[in-house]
């Protein structure tokens, strides 16, 4: 493992246009569980067996709003979560002028909390919520403090999280910026993602640079194309590599 860490440090030293593409594995080290791990959740009120994916779908949001927010507040918002070593290392790389962007599938805002400035959130953020009628903004505290369906204090409209639900499309502007960043990078670090959620995972195909680095506890579909593969904790790997810079 030391040899791989040394190689990563060498790549980081020699790169000045790094992009990081990350997924749920980055957040799990901040004690935010991957909600897919809680399969087959039973909704007592509806007497129907829903998967987590169905519970955060557009259809469920529209059809069962109270149950949607019950699940959303319980499983997707973690107000006490703090940035871990991976978030901190990436923020430091950006401060050094090496990292140009973070492209993330996560919705927790921890990259920004660690100090990262250029963060493209493919699936939105739990920290942003909007009235569907008048557009008034609300933070996550408003959602957590609401009873039942969150309502706009100005017009009474339903408040919706600025999160891309299943069945909804990704933001075209975020996609364009992500593609541009990845296509211009000399090093792409993929971390904490199994690369099974599309279309987000397909963005890595735009990378045409020199170093493709994969840091994940399990194998992924991109392993065969990687220049460096490290199967270990993303936080530990990034912290140790940064210590060698």
User: For 178-214, what is each residue's pLDDT tens digit?
Assistant: 999 999 999 999 999 888 777 878 999 999 999 999 9
User: Which CATH superfamily hosts domain 2-32+83-123+167-243?
Assistant: TPP-binding domain (3.40.50.1220)
**Strand ranges inside 137-240, DSSP E:** 137-138, 159-163, 187-191, 211-215, 228-230
Taking 3-state DSSP, the helix, strand and coil percentages for the chain, each rounded to the nearest 5, stand at 40, 20, 40
Nearest to 49 by CA among 65, 74, 67: 67
Catalytic: 123? yes
Q: Which residues contact 78 (CB under 8 A, 6 or more apart)?
A: 30, 31, 32, 108
Residue 122's DSSP bridge partners are none
pLDDT digits (tens, 9 = 90+) for 135-182: 999 999 999 999 999 999 999 999 999 999 999 999 999 999 999 999
Catalytic, out of 87, 111, 123, 231:
123
**All CATH 3.40.50.1220 domain ranges in the chain, comma separated:** 2-32+83-123+167-243
Output the CA–CA distances (angstroms, integers) from residue 238 to 38, 170, 193, 214, 234, in the order listed: 28, 29, 15, 12, 6
pLDDT digits (tens, 9 = 90+) for 80-125: 999 999 999 999 999 999 999 999 999 999 999 999 999 999 999 9
Question: How far apart, in whole angstroms, are the C-alpha atoms of residue 146 and residue 150?
Answer: 5
| Residue 233 CB-density burial (10 A; 0-12 exposed, 13-18 middle, 19+ buried) | buried
Residue 101's DSSP bridge partners are 19
């Amino acid at each position: 493992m030391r040899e791989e860490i040394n190689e990563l440090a060498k790549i980081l030293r020699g790169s000045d246009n790094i992009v990081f593409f990350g997924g749920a594995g980055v957040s799990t080290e901040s004690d935010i569980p991957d909600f897919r791990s809680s399969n087959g959740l039973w909704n007592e009120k509806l007497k129907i067996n829903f998967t987590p994916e169905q519970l955060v779908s557009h259809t469920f949001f529209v059809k069962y709003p109270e149950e949607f927010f019950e699940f959303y507040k319980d499983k997707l918002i973690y107000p006490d979560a703090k940035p871990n070593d991976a978030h901190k290392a990436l923020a430091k790389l950006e401060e050094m002028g090496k990292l140009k962007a973070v492209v993330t599938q996560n919705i927790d805002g921890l990259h920004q909390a660690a100090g990262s400035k250029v963060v493209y959130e493919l699936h939105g953020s739990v920290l942003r919520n909007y009235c569907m009628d008048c557009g008034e903004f609300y933070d996550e505290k408003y959602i957590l403090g609401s009873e039942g369906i969150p309502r706009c204090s100005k017009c009474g409209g339903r408040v919706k999280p600025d999160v891309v639900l299943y069945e909804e499309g990704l933001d075209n502007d975020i996609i364009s910026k992500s593609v541009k960043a990845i296509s211009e990078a000399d090093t792409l670090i993929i971390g904490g993602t199994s690369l099974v959620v599309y279309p987000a995972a397909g963005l890595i195909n735009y990378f045409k640079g020199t170093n493709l680095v994969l840091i994940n506890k399990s194998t992924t579909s991109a392993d065969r194309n990687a220049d460096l593969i490290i199967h270990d904790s993303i936080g530990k790997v990034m912290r140790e590599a940064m210590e060698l810079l």
